[in-house]
Amino acid sequence: MAFRNSVLRRLRRWAPALCLSLAMLWLAGCAQIDYPQSTLHPKGDFAHLVDALFRTTLRWATVVFFLVEGALVYALFRFRGKPTDAEPEQTHGNAMLEVVWTVIPAVILVLIAIPTIKTIFKTASVPDDDPMVVEVIGHQWWWEFKYPEYNLVTANELHVPVGRTVDLKMTTGDVLHSFWTPQLAGKRDVFPGRENRLWFKAELAGDYPGQCAEFCGLQHGRMAFRVVAEEPAAFDAWRTGLAALAAAPSAPDTARADTSKAAAPAEDPLVAQGRQLFNTKGCLGCHALSAVGAPTMTGPNLAGIGDRTHIAAGWLPNTDENLARWLRDPQAVKVGVLMPKLGLNEDEIKALVAYLRSHRAVAATPSVAAVQ
Amino acid sequence: MATTAMGHAGTHAHAQKTGLWSWITTVDHKRIGILYGVTAFLFFLLGGLEALLLRWQLGAPDRTFLSPEVYNQLFTMHGTTMIFLGVMPLSAMFFNYFIPLQIGARDVAFPRLNAFSYWVFLFGGLLLNSSFLINAAPNAGWFGYANLTSTQYSPGLNVDFWIIGLQILGIASLAAAVNFFTTVVNLRAPGMKLMRMPMFVWMSFITQVLLLLAFPVITVALVLLMFDRQFGSHFFVPSGGGDPVLWQHLFWIFGHPEVYILILPAFGIVSEVLPVFSRKPLFGYAAMVFSGAFIAFLGFGVWSHHMFSTGMGPIADTVFSLATMLIAIPTGVKIFNWIGTVWGGSLQMKTPMYFALGFIAMFIIGGLSGVMHASPPADLQQTDSYFIVAHFHYVLFGGSIFALTAGAYYWFPKMSGRMLDETLGKIHFWLMFIGFNLTFAPMHILGLNGMPRRVYTYSAESGFTFWNQVETAGSLILGFSFLIFAWNLVRSLRRGPVAPADPWNGATLEWSIPSPPQEWNFAEEPRVDSRDAFWEMKRVRGGTMPEPPHVSGQGIHLPNPSYWPVVTALGILMFFVGLLLHVHVPTVLAGGALTLFSILSWAFEPTGH
């Protein structure tokens, strides 16, 4: 009875710790949050390999955590003394015990090391004879993607077919960055003048957010991108659409009649005005509107911009309003980017937004932006 | 005036003890320890304030409280400050004050060099922070990865302040390491064999070895970077054939041992506090010594685990992964031995014990998450995410800061002659414990769910908002707990109960002399017959010791005060400011000349006796 009372008293003294633990559990319980960038719900084979390894380690860590913290907390309550108590037994060590608690962690580490080494070698090279090669170039603060197989270039939105291994050959145009799409694969840093490799195979169609993970200066926090994984047919439609866009001239000229789109209904005059502005306001100095064989330019390639879910490197939803904000003053949206304030008036902005919105690789299907 | 003071001190070594000048010229290891402690605590509060600003910015998605530029400056300075101006010099406070006391010495081996270390540290810290005044605080991270630090991508003075500041602080650290190393080797009291040294002395001793071996590497790396920036060389500039990866190797060959420089003194402190408040000797003394040494040794062979995402290839990944996992074994031994120390004891739940036990509980978590990213493929998801931020705050805050706070509560009575308030101490503990866990535990969740480090904001659609809000709330509690600590310090200094020589039934020699100790520490050189020397003395005597008498100190030779250490430090500061100002030759030459002149004067300074 006296023992029970003293335990109760001790419990009361440790109430703050209990409250904290309960509060954390309660918080964790009610926080049913959707994390689109999570590492814990892999949708690619690389990410699955890593996730399996992580869960193995996590299981061991959890066991060790409860055993060791449990021993500590038990000792805390069990061996609490008063200043008047007799001096406890003066033990200095126990060779047997010390050997045991050296060996047990060593064994656990071996059990973690074996799957670790297996996974290191599994993830080291591309496990496929016929991967789709994509060249990734990091820039302050956006991503450029090239498809040598299709002679295409795009920016900030990497389209890949579901079920085909993608072999990323990565470098940077300026400083170090790190390519990270948590649901599909781990990180890989990019270095100037060096090619680094990463691979993954998307298992499920979806729009996977990714983000630069190596500090790269002022706008590191806004250097995101998307990986759009599509069924092979949809991917083929996207890439052929992008290639076809290149065939459509970007200048407001007569050659348009030669293209397959000649049969299309008469063009919206606002779009035509936007095209005119795009050519005369200096946009072309930095941005290409053709995805085919385009060289790296100062700014991101804008072919198919109307389809993209986000602008300004993968984080700002691609709505007409946001596009207008960007055109009005890019520095107010993302300070430090190379694009200056162009001094456009509201009518010009409206026309440019209409034109950019019309620039779609997959014109027939409503874009994600339109759905949003 | 200076000569008068000098001449005066020369003839009456024990006369001058008050006034600003006596602090500037002091060579007493205890006063220098206090200087280190006060300065480092102020820098620590500054680093904490920076952290609170960062947390406020992240308290909501798309918040514009801080601009990206200011955010980058603050996170760079937060890391740099906490490591070089907070935790390291707080450890140095305890090295200074307690290594000589615990080994039964009258001072450190080189008292003037000791003063010099402090002044160089102070000037380095002030110079680093003066960059805020011209809005050019370092902004490339505490790790300063090339080639972002090249003049092309960082044209301002920001990176130069960082290079020069760290270089100056390195001089302070190296000089101090030489000093403490020599002190432990040469000045131990008779009978204080190596395997009888208090565990704090052992861990501090190992720390000095780490400092001596690790700091030259960062010194060289910083010199190369300075050459790149000031003289157009290309060590790290790819367009000139340089290699940014080389910087990463050099930085982490320093940077990983640096982690142990931050944690080993904490291990030492906890190994002092736990036995005293368990009334039972440290469990497995020899294993504690060797595991500490083994951790330090391995610490030089694991640096590339900071670089798994650079793509080093499967062989290097495997080797560095296994070496890193190996460190978990001696670390585990330490944790088990601490629990073994507590086990079967008679726990006296005073504030230092709260913090020491809190240290073990939190350090276990940091250790376990460390094993998780020792696994390279798993690290590819975790590195540069908030999971890592959680990990190293559990190690460096849950570890180092909890242990340093335990040390502060444990040793404050010895240093000040006053007891700290126990109630405020326990309130401090619980607020710090709760605030700490609310701030850093959710970072595990955010990191695993894809939140990268060093981002100045995030979008609501990322799902990161909720836990960031919890963290920001926690950080406010954490910050508040230190206000209570500061209040406890200030209040107890003036009105705390007078501390006896041995308030805790201490095991080591510092408790055998008055609180605070007299200038010469030990009126008579102590003789040591076993580990836990003071416990043994009390045991032999069959009970407690009487309060040690204050003696006149007549006939005890002490080193004279000297202003040459501070003048030399000023010369070094001037030299480096010249380098900072794009190699302003007259300043550099004047600084160099002043340094040389004061070193010579120092060398030929009369000893006075």
Specify whether the CB–CB gap between B40 and B90 falls below 8 A. yes
Looking at residue A7, its pLDDT comes to 58
A170 alpha carbon, distance to own chain's centre: 15
Residues with Cβ < 8 Å from B327, sequence gap 6 or more?
B295, B298, B299, B302
| Cβ–Cβ contact B322 with A under 8 A | yes
Q: Which residue type sits at B394?
A: Y
Which residues on chain A are in Cβ contact (under 8 Å) with B239?
192-193
Q: Calculate the dihedral angle through the C-alpha atoms of A187, A189, A194, A197, rounding to the nearest 10 degrees.
A: 0
Q: How confident is the model at residue A364 (pLDDT cuts 50, 70, 90)?
A: very low
Q: How far is B568 from chain A (nearest CA, A)?
A: 37
**pLDDT tens for each residue of B289-299:** 999 999 999 99
Looking at residue A22, its pLDDT comes to 74
What whole-number distance in Å separates Cα of residue A294 and Cα of residue A300? 11
Interface with chain B: mutation pick from A122, A184, A189, A311, highest number of B CBs within 10 Å: A189
CB nearest B384 (choices: A16, A47, A187): A187
Q: How confident is the model at residue A276 (pLDDT cuts 50, 70, 90)?
A: very high
DSSP lists the bridge partners of residue A323 as none
B456 with A185: Cβ contact below 8 A: no
| Cβ–Cβ contact A74 with B under 8 A | no
Looking at residue B14, its pLDDT comes to 53
For residue A185, the chain B residue with the least C-alpha distance is B381
Q: How far is A235 from chain B (nearest CA, A)?
A: 25
| Cβ–Cβ contact B383 with A under 8 A | yes
Q: How confident is the model at residue A5 (pLDDT cuts 50, 70, 90)?
A: low
Axis-axis angle for helices B68-80, B29-57 (nearest 10): 150
A73 has pLDDT over 60: yes
Looking at residue A370, its pLDDT comes to 41
B317 with A106: Cβ contact below 8 A: no
Helix intervals (H) in B135-198: 158-186
CB nearest B372 (choices: A57, A106, A185): A57
Specify whether the CB–CB gap between B272 and B200 falls below 8 A. yes
B433 with A16: Cβ contact below 8 A: yes
Q: Of all residues in chain B, what percent carry a pLDDT higher than 90?
A: 92
Query: Could you say which residues from 252 to 311 on chain B have a Cβ atom under 8 Å away from some Cβ of chain A?
Result: 278-281, 283-287, 309-311
Q: Phi and psi for A136 in degrees, rounded to 5? A: -110, 130
Q: Residue range B112-123: average pLDDT?
A: 97
Q: How confident is the model at residue B390 (pLDDT cuts 50, 70, 90)?
A: very high
Residues with Cβ < 8 Å from B178, sequence gap 6 or more?
B110, B113, B208, B212
Looking at residue A78, its pLDDT comes to 94
B389 has pLDDT over 80: yes
Pairing of strands A310-311, A142-147: unpaired
B6 has pLDDT over 50: no
Gyration radius of chain A's alpha carbons: 29
B437 with A191: Cβ contact below 8 A: no
What whole-number distance in Å separates Cα of residue B185 and Cα of residue B160? 37
Which residues on chain B are in Cβ contact (under 8 Å) with A61?
368-369, 371-372
A254 has pLDDT over 60: no
- For chain A, helix, strand, coil in percent to 5 are 45, 15, 40
| Cβ–Cβ contact B467 with A under 8 A | yes
Q: Residue range B400-429: average pLDDT?
A: 97
| Cβ–Cβ contact B500 with A under 8 A | no
Which residues on chain B are in Cβ contact (under 8 Å) with A40?
448-449
Looking at residue A359, its pLDDT comes to 92
Q: Residue range B231-239: average pLDDT?
A: 94
For residue A187, the chain B residue with the least C-alpha distance is B380
Q: How far is B205 from chain A (nearest CA, A)?
A: 22
Query: Could you say which residues from 302 to 341 on chain A have a Cβ atom under 8 Å away from some Cβ of chain B?
Result: 315, 335-336
A4 has pLDDT over 70: no
B380 with A35: Cβ contact below 8 A: no
What whole-number distance in Å separates Cα of residue A297 and Cα of residue A286? 6
A20 with B433: Cβ contact below 8 A: yes
Of A217-226, A293-302, B153-162, the one with minimum mean pLDDT is A293-302
Please tell me which residue, B310 or A258, carries the higher pLDDT value.
B310
Terminal-to-terminal C-alpha distance of chain B = 21
B287 with A93: Cβ contact below 8 A: yes
pTM of the model: 0.93
Specify whether the CB–CB gap between B234 and A193 falls below 8 A. no
Axis-axis angle for helices B402-416, B422-448 (nearest 10): 160
Q: Which residue has the tokens 């726990």?
A: B347
A207 has pLDDT over 90: yes
Q: Residue range B369-390: average pLDDT?
A: 96
Looking at residue A26, its pLDDT comes to 72
For residue A211, the chain B residue with the least C-alpha distance is B452
For residue B370, the chain A residue with the least C-alpha distance is A61
Q: Which residues of B58-78 are buried (b: 16+ CB within 10 A; e: fewer)?
A: bbbbeeeebebbbbbbbbbbb
B441 with A64: Cβ contact below 8 A: no
Which residues on chain B are in Cβ contact (under 8 Å) with A89?
280, 344
Interface with chain B: mutation pick from A39, A114, A196, highest number of B CBs within 10 Å: A39
Q: How far is B537 from chain A (nearest CA, A)?
A: 16
Specify whether the CB–CB gap between B561 and B601 falls below 8 A. no
What whole-number distance in Å separates Cα of residue B149 and Cα of residue A216? 10
Q: Residue range B456-473: average pLDDT?
A: 95
Global ipTM: 0.92
**pLDDT tens for each residue of B49-103:** 999 999 999 999 999 999 999 999 999 999 999 999 999 999 999 999 999 999 9
Q: Calculate the dihedral angle through the C-alpha atoms of B230, B236, B242, B247, rounding to the nearest 10 degrees.
A: 140
Please tell me which residue, B544 or B174, carries the higher pLDDT value.
B174
Q: Residue range B204-225: average pLDDT?
A: 97
Q: Phi and psi for B26 in degrees, rounded to 5? A: -65, 145
Looking at residue A33, its pLDDT comes to 86
Q: How confident is the model at residue B2 (pLDDT cuts 50, 70, 90)?
A: very low
Looking at residue B377, its pLDDT comes to 96
What whole-number distance in Å separates Cα of residue B588 and Cα of residue B594? 10
A88 with B346: Cβ contact below 8 A: yes
| Cβ–Cβ contact A112 with B under 8 A | yes
Residues present in chain B in total: 609
A371 has pLDDT over 80: no
CB nearest A81 (choices: B346, B361, B375): B346
Q: Where are the beta strands (DSSP E) in A303-353?
A: 310-311, 316-317
Neighbours of B42 (CB within 10 A): 14
In what helix (H) or strand (E) does residue B215 lie, and over which residues does it extend? helix B199-231
Of A21-35, A256-270, B2-16, the one with minimum mean pLDDT is B2-16
